[in-house]
Amino acid sequence: MKKKKKLLTFPSIIVLTVFAILPLIIMLVYSFQSDSGSSGVTLENYTNFFLKSVYLKLTYRTIINSLAVTIISLIISYPLAYFMAKKFKGLKNIVMILILIPFFTNQLVRVYSWLIFLQDGGVLNSFLQSVGLIEGSLGILFTQGAVVIGLVHAFFPYMVITIYLALERVDNSLLEASSSLGASKVRTFFQVVLPLSMPGVVTGIMIVFVPCLGTFVEPRILGGVNGTVIGTVIEDQFFEIYGWNFGAAIAFVLFAMVIISMTGLSRIGRRYDNE
Amino acid sequence: MKIKTLLSLFLVVILVFALAACGGQTAEEEGTDEPATLTVVNWKDYGSDNADFVAAFEAENNCKIVHVYMSSEEELLTKLKTAKDGDIDVCLPNCTILPSAINDGLLLELDTTKLTNFDSLYDRFKVQEESFKDGKMYSVPWVWGSTAIAYNTDEIAAPPSSVSILFDPEYAGKIAIRDDFNDAVMLAAIVLGQDPNNPSDLDAIKAKLIEQKPLNKTYWKTGDEFSKLFAGNQVAVGLMWSGQAAFMKQDGQPIGFVVPEDGAIGWVDTWGIAKGSQNPDLAYKFIDAVISEEFQYDWASTGGPAPVNKDAGEQIDPVYAASCGMDEESLNRLYFMQYRTDDVKKAWNELWTEVKAN
C-alpha cells in the first residue's frame, strides 16, 4: 500500500526534477562563469553585484515595494476573508468569483487596464475631478504608487483565499464559548480568532511577498522612469545584452532572499501551529 | 529500490529518444539536398520572402528559395557558426554584428563587379565601414532606417532642429525616450558633442541622462506603448523609429518625424554570402535582385524601410520620404550604430541601469 502511494508521486517528482531542479542547477553553474568570455569558475558576477551600489539600491527598492504590496494586501484581505467566512452566507460564492476574476485575466491585459484607468485624463482622473476631490491631473501613473496598485490587484486574491481557508476552520463554538465566558467581541477576535487564523496569514504573506520580489511586467509598464526594480535588471541582462551569467547571479541572490524570508516566515507560522 | 531502477530506466529512454530525434533531423536535411536550392536567412515578413518576388526569382533562375527565419542578430551568428557547408547561402547581418561574422570567417569575400546594381547604391553605402576588412568587402548594404525625433505637429509647429529638444524643460512631462541603453547613450553623446559610437566621457553622459530623466513622462519599451501615449496626448515629443512613425502617420495621428541637424541614430541591414555556400552565383543573383531599383522602390514606397539604391530613393515621393526620414539629407546626418564588444555593451547597460535607479 505504501509503495503504491509512493508511485503516485512519481510523475510530479520527474516534472520537478526536469523542469525546476535541473534548470536551477544549470543557472547556478552559469552564475559562476564570466560574461567576458574567459572560462573557469569565477566569483566576479557576485562581487560585481555586491560592490556596485546601484544593484543594492534596486534590491532595497524591490524589498520595500514588495513589503508595501504585502501589507496593503493583508489590510484588504483580512476583513474580506473574515466576512466571507463568518458573516456572508449565500453571498460567499459570488464574492469568491469576483475575487478570482483577476486570475482569469491575462497579465498584460490587466496591467494595460490599470494604465488606462490611472492615466492623466483617464477614468479615475475624470471621476475625482467631477466629485471635486482634485483639480488638474492626478499624476499617479508612472510612479511607484501605480506599481504597488497593480501588484496588489494581481496578488491579493491569494491572500484572501489562504486567510479564508484558515478562518473557516475556526470552530464557531469556540466563539460562542468565548462570549459566554464574558469576553467582548473585540477581545474574542484578538484572543481567539486572530491567533487561530495566523497560519493562513503567514502563508498568505509568503505567497504574496515572494513572487512580488521577482516581478518585472508591472514595474516596467506602470512605473515609468522610476519603475526599475531587480526583476527588470535581470530581464535586461537576458534580453538586452545576453549577459546570462550576471543575470543568473542576480537571480540567485534574489533566490537566496526568497529562501531566507520563507524560512523566517515558516518559523513564525510554526509557532502558531503548536498552540 | 524499485523506484530508483524505474527512474534510471526512464532517464535512459528519454536520452535515447532525444538522441534519435537529433539524428533524424540531420538525415532528413541531407535527403532534401537539391542542386538549385538557395537558402536565405532573414527576418520573417522582411522583404525577401514576399511571395511575388520569390515566384519571379524562382522562375527566372530555375531554382527554389528556402527561407530560414532568425529572431535576433545573435541567433544569426550562432546559425552561421554551427551550419554545415551548404546549409546557408545568403544571410542578413546588420552592422552591429557584421565585424564578428567577418572576423570569425563566416562570410565569403564579395566581388561587387558581379552585382549589376551595385553602382546605383548611394556612395556612402558602397563604402559602409563595417562591410570591409583589410580593404575587402564582405557584405552589401540593403536597407536602412533611423531612430530620431517624433513630435506632435499640433503642439510643435516647426520641426525641431536639434535632439536637445528632448532635454528641454519646456516640454517637461511630455517627453518619452526609449528604455534602451544604446539609444540613451548615443542620444546623450550627440547632445554633448561626443562621438556617439565611441563616447569619450561616459560620466558626463550619465549625468546628462540623469538630468533628463525627470522630464520624461515614461521610458517607452514597445512601439505600441508610445503610440497609445502619443494618441492620448500624454507625450508630445520623443525618440522614435522611422518605421513606427510612418505607421502612426498613416494611422492619422498628428505626428511629424525628423532627423535633426545635429544628427540621430541610424541602422543598416546588409546581405552577405555564407562561407560554405554551394551556389555562390545564384547568391550573387539574389543579392543583385534585392538591391535593384524595382525591388527597392516597391518595398520602400509600400511601408518598407529606406532603400540603399539611389535611383529607387529618388523616385519616392519626396514628401513621403521626408516624413519618415528616408531622404538623402536625413541619411547624411545619421550616426550609424556600430559593432559593440560585450564589454562595451555591459558598461553602457550598467550606466543606463544607474540612470534608471537614480
Boundaries of domain holding A45: 41-274
Instruction: Say which CATH number the domain at A270 has.
Output: 1.10.3720.10
Q: What is the average per-residue pLDDT within B288-302? A: 93
- Interface test mutation site (partner B, options A65, A225, A226, A235, max chain B beta carbons within 10 A): A225
Q: Are residues B222 and B330 in the same domain?
A: no
Of all residues in chain B, the one with the smallest CA distance to A6 is B3
Residue B233: inside a domain, yes or no?
yes
Of the partner residues B10, B74, B353, the one whose CB lies closest to the CB of residue A14: B10
Residue B227: inside a domain, yes or no?
yes
Among A52-61, A137-146, A157-166, which stretch is predicted with the lowest mean pLDDT? Answer: A137-146
Distances (CA, A) of B326 to B156, B305, B315, B318: 21, 8, 12, 9
B343/A contact by beta carbon, under 8 A: yes
Handedness of CA A244, A247, A252, A255 (dihedral sign): negative
User: In which residue are the cell numbers 540621430 written?
Assistant: B264
Handedness of CA B344, B346, B347, B351 (dihedral sign): positive
pLDDT at A100 over 90: no
Q: Are residues B138 and B218 in the same domain?
A: no
Boundaries of domain holding B59: 36-144+267-334
Count of domains observed in chain A = 1
Q: Are residues B112 and B195 in the same domain?
A: no
Residue A225 and residue B225: Cβ atoms within 8 Å? no
Q: Are residues B240 and B340 in the same domain?
A: yes
Tell the burial category of B309 from Cβ atoms under 10 Å away from its Cβ (0-12, 13-18, 19+). Answer: buried
Q: In B, which residues are within 8 Å of A57 by CB distance?
A: 357
Q: Are residues B228 and B274 in the same domain?
A: no
Residue A36: inside a domain, yes or no?
no
Residue B356 and residue A242: Cβ atoms within 8 Å? no
Residue A192: inside a domain, yes or no?
yes
Res. B8 pLDDT band, cuts 50 70 90? low
Nearest CA distance, A229 vs chain B (angstrom): 8
Count of domains observed in chain B = 2
Residue B305: inside a domain, yes or no?
yes
Write the ipTM: 0.89
Residue B24: inside a domain, yes or no?
no
Residue A218: inside a domain, yes or no?
yes
Q: Residue A105 and residue B252: Cα distance in Å, rounded?
A: 31
User: In terms of Cα–Cα distance, which of B208, B222, B151 is closest to B351?
Assistant: B208
Average per-residue pLDDT for chain B = 88
Residue B2 and residue A61: Cβ atoms within 8 Å? no
Residues contacting residue B96 through CB under 8 Å, at least 6 positions apart: B73, B267, B337, B338, B339, B340
Of all residues in chain B, the one with the smallest CA distance to A140 is B217
Residue B9: inside a domain, yes or no?
no
Of all residues in chain A, the one with the smallest CA distance to B71 is A239
Q: Residue B70 and residue B43: Cα distance in Å, rounded?
A: 5
Q: In B, which residues are within 8 Å of A61 by CB distance?
A: 357
pLDDT at B13 over 80: no
Residue A241 and residue B345: Cβ atoms within 8 Å? yes
Q: Residue B75 and residue B81: Cα distance in Å, rounded?
A: 10
Residues contacting residue B162 through CB under 8 Å, at least 6 positions apart: B191, B260, B261, B262
User: In terms of Cα–Cα distance, which of B241, B246, B301, B298 is closest to B267?
Assistant: B241
Does the reported pTM lie above 0.80? yes
Q: Residue B240 and residue B228: Cα distance in Å, rounded?
A: 13
pLDDT at B34 (0 to 100) = 53
pLDDT at B32 (0 to 100) = 46
Q: Residue B197 and residue B180: Cα distance in Å, rounded?
A: 15
Q: Are residues B50 and B122 in the same domain?
A: yes
- Interface test mutation site (partner B, options A241, A242, A245, A246, max chain B beta carbons within 10 A): A241
pLDDT at B4 over 70: no
β-partners of residue B55 are none
Residues counted in chain B: 358
B342/A contact by beta carbon, under 8 A: yes
Q: Are residues B257 and B194 in the same domain?
A: yes
Q: Which of B1-15, B247-261, B283-297 has the highest mean pLDDT?
A: B283-297
B2/A contact by beta carbon, under 8 A: yes
pLDDT at A2 (0 to 100) = 66
Q: Are the CB atoms for B292 and B118 separated by under 8 Å? A: no
The predicted-structure confidence for B322-339, as pLDDT tens digits, reads as follows 888 889 899 999 999 988
Q: Are residues B262 and B349 in the same domain?
A: yes
